[in-house]
Amino acid sequence: MINVNIEGCKTFVKEEEYKKFEGKALEAYDVLVSGNGAGNDFLGWKELPDETPESLITDCEAIRNDWKCKGVDLVVTIGIGGSYLGARCAIEALSHNFIQKKDAPRVVFAGNNLSEEYLAELIDLLKVSNVACVVISKSGTTTEPAVAFRIVKQYIEDTYGRREASERIIAITDAKKGALKTLSTQEGYRTFIVPDNVGGRFSVLTPVGLLPIVLAGFDVRAMLKGASDERKALAEKSGSNAAVKYAAMRNLLYSGYGKAVEIMVSYNPKFVYLAEWWKQLYGESEGKDGKGIYPASVTNTADLHSMGQFIQEGSRVMFETVINIAKSNRDIVIGSDEQNLDQLNFLAGQHIEHCNAMAQLGVKVAHIDGGVPQIEVGIERIDEYNLGSLFYFFEFACGVSAYTLGVNPFNQPGVEAYKKNMFALLKKPGYEKETEAILKRI
Ligand code: PA5
């Protein structure tokens, strides 16, 4: 169960103000739970932890076994934004930092940029691997994944033949429409569906996240169980509900105290992509109508040596949301050294995680003294169960928080603006007027 601690904000805010925002968050909670708010045709994610059929997981496992029989050792997962960040977050969090998991293919990601070098280097890797591909796009026409898929599909067809390619490519897309759906039907690809009522950034517990996570060798049943237990915990409406506390405090810090930047802080490098996933979730859900908290992130202790100065003494516009991990999955004790040149013998016999925890505590006090409020989000350890809880907590809290702010959490009208300009500059047929207009401005 996720634990939210807002004590590190209490010296910054007045109790009666917090109570006012708690009231607003409780009203927003009702809007989310009743399904009466803006964007309510995108609430399918709420039920996923308890309504994902076992057959979906066994279908994912069947693909894993099938590809294992073919000797596949590399799965290229193609997608962008909500169509890849959840899977990448889970796989990075659960994987060994240095060693590839035995009995599972390496899962790499493409289609999330337009770098020629990136794709050329991906082809270098394909040439020394036994390759399969999962292509994920609800629309099927998003430029970045579509470009990457052209390249990877061509490579797979040239290397294994078109018929075998149809067994090595899985598409996750819309149930009925779109370019990828049409292609899958033509080529006979196995497909999974992105539910109509789940937006990309809320899709980690659909096949969009579950299939790549299963292929990478991790336990999605435990992940769904963690999400389901968190759902139960959040079902109780009260001021101590974790989502209500998080939503109330961050909205108060923003609206009442000009804290317009929220920094997600973690002390484990496995959570770099948790922050990337969270940034999209909160940035795309709340940053609209001229409002919203800008989501940023640091990974400590590394970033204490880079961003630490700014957070301690720079513009006082930010607060921190720290991910507390109660237990390390591994143990290493610091040894004693005869010469003690680095003068660290006072740490001999201590666990490294104890040093990490003391760094975290020292930073907490220093940052609060420096004018940076801290919210803490606690989990037991990094594993599938706790990740499932975290995913569900942040999604649910995002809905509560966006409604507290007064915006529709489930649309993203602003992401289209750059596409029009890019297509005009690339001279896409039908964009002639836009091309003429933009060329006059650059
Ligand atoms: O959250 C979102 O809606 C976006 O990030 C989309 O997931 C992203 O743009 C990819 O879209 P698509 O799945 O249609 O390729």
- Taking the C-alpha atoms of residue 30 and residue 28, their distance in angstroms, rounded to an integer, is 5
- Taking the C-alpha atoms of residue 184 and residue 299, their distance in angstroms, rounded to an integer, is 40
**CA distance readout (Å), 355 to 251, 278, 324, 350, 430:** 33, 27, 14, 8, 60
In 10 A of CB 17, how many CB atoms? 14
Rounded to the nearest angstrom, the distance between the alpha carbon of 410 and the centre of ligand 1 is: 12
- Taking the C-alpha atoms of residue 191 and residue 226, their distance in angstroms, rounded to an integer, is 26
Query: Does the active-site annotation cover 440?
Result: no
Question: What pLDDT tens digit does each residue of the chain (442 aa) get?
Answer: 999 999 999 999 999 999 999 999 999 999 999 999 999 999 999 999 999 999 999 999 999 999 999 999 999 999 999 999 999 999 999 999 999 999 999 999 999 999 999 999 999 999 999 999 999 998 888 999 999 999 999 999 999 999 999 999 999 999 998 899 999 999 999 999 999 999 999 999 999 999 999 999 999 999 999 999 999 999 999 999 999 999 999 999 999 999 999 999 999 999 999 999 999 999 999 999 999 999 999 999 999 999 999 999 999 999 999 999 999 999 999 999 999 999 999 999 999 999 999 999 999 999 999 999 999 999 999 999 999 999 999 999 999 999 999 999 999 999 888 989 999 999 999 999 999 999 999 8
Residue 199: CB within 6 Å of ligand 1? yes
Whose structure tokens read 């201590």? Answer: 350
Query: Does the active-site annotation cover 117?
Result: no
Q: Which protein residue's CA is at the shortest distance from atom 8 of ligand 1?
A: 81
The answer to whether 377 and 267 have CB atoms below 8 angstroms apart is: no
**Amino acid residing at 250:** R
Q: How far apart are the first and last CA of the chain?
A: 52
Peptide bond into 143 cis (omega under 30): no
Whose structure tokens read 């809905």? Answer: 399
Residue to substitute in 42, 77, 78, 80 for testing ligand 1 pocket (most ligand atoms within 8 angstroms of CB): 80
In 10 A of CB 234, how many CB atoms? 24
**Amino acid residing at 61:** E
List the one residue out of 21, 13, 49 whose CA is nearest residue 246: 21
